[in-house]
Amino acid sequence: MQDLAAALSARKQQQLYRTRLTLDGPQGVVVSIDGRDYLSFCSNDYLGLANHPQLIAAFKEGVDRFGVGSGAAHLITGHSYAHQALEEELAAFVGRPRALLFSTGYMANLGVVTALTGRGDEIFEDRLNHASLIDAAALSTAKLVRYPHNDMQALQQKLSASRARQRLIASDGVFSMDGDCARLVPMQALARQSDAWLLVDDAHGFGVLGEQGQGWCVDQLGAGTDNLVLMATLGKALGTGGAFVAGSEALIETLIQQARTFVYTTAAPPALAWATRAALRLVQAGDGLRERLLRNIDYFRRGAAELDVPLMASETAIQPVVVGAAGAALALSAALRQRGLLVTAIRPPTVPQGASRLRVTLSASHSIEQLDRLLGALADCYRECLHVVP
Ligand SMILES: *Cc1c(COP(=O)(O)O)cnc(C)c1O
C-alpha cells in the first residue's frame, strides 16, 4: 500500500498541490469567497450566462414542469421532452442531422471514442488535447498516436504509416490551455483521405466563435460530412452544464446503442436541459455579447503588449500569461489575489514542465475598468514574480 501522506507532501514541495476555492454565491466576473469579493478571470462563463436572469427563470420553470431528478437513464425512462427538444434544437443549430446529450463533456468524449474504436484501431491526437480525449483513448484500448501541436505534416505522416482497421483523429477545436485553434480544414482533408473519423471537441468554441456562435468546428467545416463528429459542452459559454455530440443519423444511433457513458448513467435533470434551451436562444441572439467579448480580448492583448507582458498566439477568450516555473505562477496568482483579483495558476501535469502560466479567461461581462484593474496589477506584479524559484 502506498504512503499517500508522503506523496501529498512531495507534491506540496514541488508546488503542485491543488486546492479548491469555495464560492459563497453565483459564478460571475465578481465572485465572493469567505465574504470577500474578487474580480475573477478564471471562469469559462464566456458570455456571462451562468447567472443570467432568463436562464434562472427557465431553470425554475423546468423544475416546476419536470421536477428535480430525471430518475433513470435515457434508455429507461429518464429521457424527457426537455432533453428531446434540446437535442433537436442543438442539431438544427449546428446543421447536423442529429444530436445526443451527455451528462458531461468528459463523458461525451469517453463515450464517442470507445463506441467508435477498440483493439487494433488507432487514435491520432494533438499533444495538447484535453485530458478527457487522452483518457478516452486509454479506455478504448486502441493505440494512441500523438502528434506535435497543430502539426498537420506530422499527422499526415503518422496517418500514412497506419495499418489499423479503423482510424480516428481527435482534436480540441480551441485548445483549452493555450487558447489557439485547431487547423480543422487540413485536418478534415487528411481525415477524408485516410478514411478516418474526425472528432472535434469544441468545448471552448461553442457559443463563442462562428457566425451565430455555432463554434469553431462549424465555422471552419460547415455542416461537415459523415466522418465528422462534433462534441461541445454546455457548461462553458452556455452557462448550464452537460454536453452533446452531433453527427449523422447512423452515428447518433450507434452512440445510443454503444456509448457506455450514455447508456449506463442517469440522465441529467430535465430542468437543466430546459435552462439550456433558454441559453441557446440567448447564444443565437448573442451577437452583442460576442462583440463585447471580442472587444475585451482585443483590449487586454493591446494592454499586455504595452506592458511587455508576453501572451500566447490566441485570439480567443483564453489568454494565458506564460510564466515558466510552477512556483512563479503560484507567486503571481497569489500577488494578484492579494489585490482582489482571481486568476488561477495552471501547472504540470495540465501543461508541460516549464510552461506554467496564469490562465486568464475573459468574459463578455468584464468592463473596460475591470480589464484595466487586471492590467494594472500585472504591471505591478508580473516582473517580480518571474524571479521566484523554483
Ligand atoms: C471542459 C472541457 C471538457 C469537459 O467538459 P465537462 O462538461 O466539463 O466535463 C472536455 N474538453 C475540453 C476541451 C474542455 O475544455
The pLDDT assigned to 277 comes to 98
The pLDDT assigned to 214 comes to 98
The pLDDT assigned to 15 comes to 81
Which ranges constitute the DSSP H helices of the chain?
Answer: 4-13, 53-66, 81-94, 105-116, 131-140, 152-160, 184-193, 216-221, 249-258, 260-263, 270-284, 287-307, 326-338, 368-386
Between 375 and 347, the higher pLDDT residue:
375
Spell out the domain ranges in the chain: 15-47+287-386, 54-284
Q: What percent of the chain has pLDDT over 70?
A: 99
- Taking only the tens place, the pLDDT of each residue in 140-170 is 999 999 999 999 999 999 999 999 999 999 9
- Residues in the ligand 1 pocket, defined by CB under 6 Å: 104-106, 109, 130, 132, 172, 176, 201, 203-204, 233, 235, 243
Residue nearest to atom 4 of ligand 1 (CA): 105
In angstroms, what is the span from residue 234 Cα to ligand 1's centroid?
9
- Taking only the tens place, the pLDDT of each residue in 70-102 is 999 999 999 999 999 999 999 999 999 999 999
CATH architecture of 54-284: 3-Layer(aba) Sandwich (3.40)
158 is catalytic: no
The pLDDT assigned to 250 comes to 98
* Protein fold of 15-47+287-386: Aspartate Aminotransferase, domain 1 (3.90.1150)
In angstroms, what is the span from residue 88 Cα to ligand 1's centroid?
22
236 is catalytic: yes
60 is catalytic: no
Across 257-271, average pLDDT: 98
User: Which uninterrupted H or E stretch holds 346?
Assistant: strand 345-346
Q: Which of 204, 314, 356, 365 is catalytic?
A: 204
Across 195-211, average pLDDT: 97
In CATH terms, are 15-47+287-386 and 54-284 the same topology? Answer: no
Using the atom order of ligand 1, give the atom closest to the CA of residue 204.
Answer: 15
Q: Which of 74, 79, 158, 236 is catalytic?
A: 236
Measured between alpha carbons, how far is 281 from 11 in angstroms, rounded to an integer?
45
Measured between alpha carbons, how far is 139 from 135 in angstroms, rounded to an integer?
6
Q: SS3 string of 126-161?
A: ECCCCHHHHHHHHHHCCEEEEECCCCHHHHHHHHHC
The pLDDT assigned to 243 comes to 98
- Taking only the tens place, the pLDDT of each residue in 328-371 is 999 999 999 999 999 999 988 888 889 999 999 999 999 999 99
The pLDDT assigned to 16 comes to 83
Q: Among 176, 272, 276, name the best residue to mutate to test ligand 1's pocket (greatest count of ligand atoms within 8 A of Cβ).
A: 176
Other CB atoms within 10 A of residue 92 CB:
13
The pLDDT assigned to 378 comes to 96
Inter-CA distances, 105 with 43, 121, 329, Å: 16, 23, 28
Q: Is the model's pLDDT at 382 over the cut of 60?
A: yes
The pLDDT assigned to 275 comes to 98
Q: What does the block give as the cell for 5?
A: 501522506
Q: Is the model's pLDDT at 389 over the cut of 70?
A: no
Q: Among 44, 102, 132, name the best residue to mutate to test ligand 1's pocket (greatest count of ligand atoms within 8 A of Cβ).
A: 132
pLDDT band at 47 (very low <50, low <70, confident <90, very high): very high
Question: The whole model's pTM is what?
Answer: 0.96
Across 158-187, average pLDDT: 97
pLDDT band at 390 (very low <50, low <70, confident <90, very high): low
